[in-house]
Structure 1
Amino acid sequence: MKILLRKIHETRQPFTIEQGEAVCRGEFWRSGKHEVTVEGSVEGSIELDCDRCGESFRQSLQEPFSVEVVDRPLKVDESLDVIECPDGYVDFDMICESEIASIRSEYHLCPRCAKDENFEIEI
């Protein structure tokens, strides 16, 4: 789902985007002349790989997120929670995919490895 940034109003609007078995839902609104705030959460479950044993496992999700979407170039010192949309469209599918990719990039342990406290790593 893409919406032209200049068409978004200050009134909060709901959104729901399905990405496989995960769902992004929340609200968006204009928070400045060139800014839209998107707040919500990623819910459901996704397939992850254990960072210790490499086995795949299913993890349930309930992760909140908040991002600003701007249609102007960013300065280097601005927040990392800002997404540029140079074409002027807020792409909710891309925001949801990005949030799920961020969750996947974190450190995850499967239930079996999470219980094993005697794990040692040689350096």
Structure 2
Amino acid sequence: MQILLRKIHESRNPFSLQKEGMACRGEFWRSGKHAVTLEGRIEGDVPLECDRCGEAFTKHVDEPFRIEVVDRPLKVDESLDVIECLDGIVDFDRICESEIASIQSEYHLCPRCAEQEDFEIEY
């Protein structure tokens, strides 16, 4: 789903997307002259790889998010929860995919490795 930033009004509007087996839903609204805020939850089973043993597993995720989308270049000291859309189009699909990728890039342990308190590797 894509919407022109200039067409978004100050009133809150609902959105709901399904991406990669995950549900991304919430609300969006204009939060400034050049900004739109998305607030909601991402929920579902995400495929992961254990960072310790390398085994594939799935984990149920239910996390809130709040993202600001702007149609102007960012300054270096601004928040990491801001996405630039210099073409003026808010791409909800890409934002949802980005949130899933962010979850997958975190450090994850499979249930078996999470039970092990001490972990040593000999080189």
Q: TM-score, normalised by structure 2?
A: 0.96
Equivalent position of 1:19 in the other structure: 19
Equivalent position of 1:118 in the other structure: 118
C-alpha displacement of 1:20: 2.1
Q: Name the SS for the 2:100 alignment partner.
A: helix
Are residues 1:70 and 2:70 paired?
yes
Unpaired segments of 5 or more residues in structure 2?
none
**Runs of 4+ more than 4 Å apart:** none
Unpaired segments of 5 or more residues in structure 1?
none
Percent identity at matched positions? 72
C-alpha displacement of 1:21: 1.1
- Structure 2: which amino acid aligns with 1:29? W
d(CA) in 2 for partners of 1:80 and 1:95?
13
Alignment of 1:2-81 (within 5 A): 2-81=2-81
C-alpha displacement of 1:120: 2.1
C-alpha displacement of 1:118: 2.4
- For residues 9-49 of structure 1, the C-alpha deviation after alignment (integer angstroms, 9 at most, x for no partner) is 11101101111211111110000010000011110111100
Q: TM-score, normalised by structure 1?
A: 0.96
RMSD: 1.2
d(CA) in 2 for partners of 1:8 and 1:45?
31
- For residues 47-98 of structure 1, the C-alpha deviation after alignment (integer angstroms, 9 at most, x for no partner) is 1000010000010010111110000111111111110101101000011000
d(CA) in 2 for partners of 1:117 and 1:103?
24
d(CA) in 2 for partners of 1:121 and 1:42?
35
Query: What is the count of residue pairs matched by the alignment?
Result: 123
Are residues 1:94 and 2:94 paired?
yes
Q: Provide closer, same or farther for how the CA distance between residues 63 and 122 of structure 1 changes in structure 2, counting only shifts above 3 A.
A: farther
Q: Name the SS for the 2:107 alignment partner.
A: coil
d(CA) in 1 for partners of 2:25 and 2:100?
13
- Structure 1: which amino acid aligns with 2:16? T
Q: Name the SS for the 1:31 alignment partner.
A: strand
